[in-house]
Amino acid sequence: MKINSLDNMNIIPRPTYAVIDMERFGNNIDIARNLSKSDIIAVVKADAYGHGAKVLAKYAYEEKNIKNFAVATMIEGIELRKVLSSKDTNIVVLGYVSDSFVKEALQSSLTLPVFDYRYADIISRAAKELGIEAHVALEIDTGMSRLGFSYELKLSDLLNKYKNLHVDFAISHLATSDCDNSYAHIQTERFDKFLEINKDYTFATSFLNSSGIANFENRWTYTRPGLFLYGYESTNVLKDLQPVMSLWSEIAHVKLLKKGESVGYGRTFFAPKDMLIGVIPIGYADGYRRSFSNRGYVLAGDKKCSVIGNVCMDMTMIDVTEIGENCIGQKVQIMGDNITAATLGQWADTIDYEILCGISDRVPRVYKYKEGHFEIF
């Protein structure tokens, strides 16, 4: 659904919704490219970290000429292919695809990861049955100890055995780019050793992730930003990035709480004095975590309204004493420029990645474009 203004929110099926700022997303892409001095593989796994992979990938391709995308699963890749059907786009699956579904993934023109000989054999056999060459991303373990061949791999040993594998990319992943540069330097040296061993082969390379872009000089074909594109990077050294998602709700009900009365499940909050509480229709089923109970706050205009009592599955209670009883229908900011995903992560003793990915699909997404129009999904 397309609309021209957010002034009339009656057309949004819930008073709780997320706004995705597409201009900010585009600006973050530009920052990633400029810092990298290279193009990027846009990481849109986990539904673009909760922002909506199809919409954002389509925008990145059409408006920013991004042609390489990364997902975590085959299903994510197949869904993305529905909006990225052009033959000049690559969708790289970074995670394991079940052996029995490799053929389906190849039929969907996905670039599959190769991380050991057993899996290379599975992919090669599937490609042979289809009568095609399999395009793959070679994953090299330089110290993450997750998926990947040893950085001492001789590519000739692999490709002489599996001649129908075409290596499009060689990639590795930093384990500590946001906290331990010494180990990251060891990893880059290992990746460079792999490239030196296999210098007779031609393929694109990708190493730096979001915090890697912020902290290291890129020497490879592509960088691979994920969180960065959505306005965050874990070292917080870049001030030009802007959060792409904001989360909003409204005050649905107000009641007087007498001194000594309790609020919510478990009676974890008792009113120290007579006060007004507001109820907002957002809860942990929406991704607003129970760990925010008696700890977080929302913004009603410029007023901080503390979360009181336990966050419920569908509702949260807040202190609205300062703004008064005539606040039903007032919009409140749950997350945005003034309450970032990083702030919510601190309240929950977790990371901003987890907060963003946790905003559930029952929260409508409203896409805001530069031209002043909006789309609701």
Known binding residues for substrate are 146, 313
Residue length, the chain? 377
β-pairing verdict for 374-376 and 365-368: antiparallel
Known binding residues are 146, 313
Strand partners, 366: 19, 376
The DSSP annotation for 196-230 comes to HHTTTS--EEE---HHHHHHS---SSEE--SGGGG
Asked about 222 being catalytic, the answer comes back as: no
| Rg of the chain (C-alpha set) | 24
Distance CA 249, CA 18 (A): 9
β-pairing verdict for 2-3 and 374-376: antiparallel
Given 161, 201, 265, 370, the catalytic residue? 265
CA dihedral 8, 14, 19, 20 (to 10 degrees): -120
Distances (CA, A) of 122 to 17, 103, 218, 231: 43, 9, 33, 38
User: What residues contact residue 215 under an 8 Å CB cut-off, 6+ apart?
Assistant: 177, 178, 181, 184, 235, 237
Instruction: Determine the angle formed by the axes of helices 74-81 and 53-64, rounding to 10 degrees.
Output: 50
Instruction: Report the candidate in 194, 40, 167 with the shortest Cα–Cα distance to residue 112.
Output: 167
Assigned token pair, 285:
């089923």
End-to-end CA distance of the chain: 7
Given 17, 45, 61, 368, the catalytic residue? 45
Q: Give SS3 for 283.
A: coil
User: What residues contact residue 109 under an 8 Å CB cut-off, 6+ apart?
Assistant: 81, 87, 91
Give the helix/strand (H/E) hosting 193: helix 181-197
Asked about 45 being catalytic, the answer comes back as: yes
Catalytically annotated residues:
45, 265
